[in-house]
Amino acid sequence: MNTFRFCTRSFGILKNRRRNYNLKESPEIRDVLDCIQTETDDRIGKIFLNRPHAFNSLNLDLLSVLNETIKSMISDPHITIIQIGSTCDNFSSGSDIKKLYNEGVISTTKNKLVI
């Protein structure tokens, strides 16, 4: 069992070193490449969240890469189980409220959160 980085940059396409999962590189995905790691063990595809500095909080960029990773694993006939875990002590603290607020996805009105 060998842990490897999910994505490597080459010619604008991100490829998994082992299974050739392809993702089209975009500015949103480029910032979070190191936030997801994968490995395979027999027929199990493992996805690891890797944002320990933010307690693996989920933002739009990370969710986009996670979605593409899951789609790629689903389409792989060699993978029958997908396991999602974490590289640090906690799994996830939930949404990254600060980043979502800064991106204008959410706003505040009279000390109330509006989504």
CB of 58 closer than 8 Å to CB of 91: no
Q: From CA 78, how far away is CA 86, in angstroms rounded?
A: 23
**Pick from 62, 52, 45: nearest CA to 87:** 52
Q: Looking at the domain 27-91, which fold is it?
A: GMP Synthetase; Chain A, domain 3 (3.30.300)
Nearest to 47 by CA among 93, 1, 87: 87
pLDDT tens string 6-53 = 333 322 334 444 444 555 555 445 545 678 889 999 899 999 998 888
Q: How far apart are CA 90 and CA 78, in angstroms?
A: 29
pTM value? 0.62
The predicted-structure confidence for 52-94, as pLDDT tens digits, reads as follows 888 888 888 888 889 999 999 999 999 999 999 999 888 888 8
Q: Which one-letter amino acid corresponds to residue 1?
A: M
Domain parsing of the chain, residue ranges? 27-91
